[in-house]
Amino acid sequence: MRERLITLGLILAALIVAGLGGKAVYDYRRFRTLNDEGRIAAAIVRELKPSPARNWHGREGRWVLSYSFATPDYAIVEATVGVPKERAGKFRVGQRIDVVYAPGEPSLTALDPEQAWAVVLHDERVLIPYLAILMVLAWNALERYRRRG
């Protein structure tokens, strides 16, 4: 029974690691698209407000920046991004800012796309659980190896 639980835990941990790795690769590809194909557009800050303290995607001390811009083919794009409190102090409603967007998918935007891939890989919401799961996988593998050897 214990052996089956360990095997089930190992499979579950492998699936979680694969899911987190897949999300990191997906995010990296999106930001790589912005780096390679991105176009700069002048956007207008529509709203700047503190992020709710305990929501699923935000952390305490972050702010939500909403902005909109028009593409060369006159499509209006509205986007929202989370920014640190220190950076939020540099923005105000009505201010013009430069954003980068992907021409084939204008809803894909970023304020700093050249650094976005590093944020994906180093963001503690992705990195810490990923490392914890890897440690559990290693521990389970060692336990299985010790029992057989």
pLDDT at 80 > cutoff 80: yes
> How far is residue 135 CA from its own chain's centroid?
22
Please, how many CA atoms are within 13 Å of residue 29, restricted to the half-sphere of its CB? 6
Q: State the Cα–Cα distance between residues 31 and 8, nearest whole angstrom.
A: 35
pLDDT of residue 69: 92
| Full-model pTM | 0.58
Please, how many CA atoms are within 13 Å of residue 54, restricted to the half-sphere of its CB? 0
Alpha carbon distances (Å) from 95 to 10, 48, 87, 134, 138? 51, 11, 14, 44, 50
List, in order, residues 6 or more apart from 133 with CB less than 8 Å away. 13, 16, 17, 20
Q: What is the DSSP string of 83-121?
A: EEHHHHTT--TT-EEEEEEETTEEEEEES-HHHHHHHHH
Strands 62-70 and 105-110: unpaired
Q: Mean pLDDT highest for which of 8-17, 31-40, 93-102, 136-145?
A: 93-102
Question: What is the CA angle 41-35-78, rounded to 5?
Answer: 35
The pLDDT mean for the chain works out to: 77
Of the pLDDT bands very low, low, confident and very high (cuts 50, 70, 90), residue 78 is: very high
Alpha carbon distances (Å) from 33 to 24, 43, 104, 111, 127? 14, 20, 10, 14, 22
Other residues' Cβ atoms within 10 Å of the Cβ of residue 41: 19
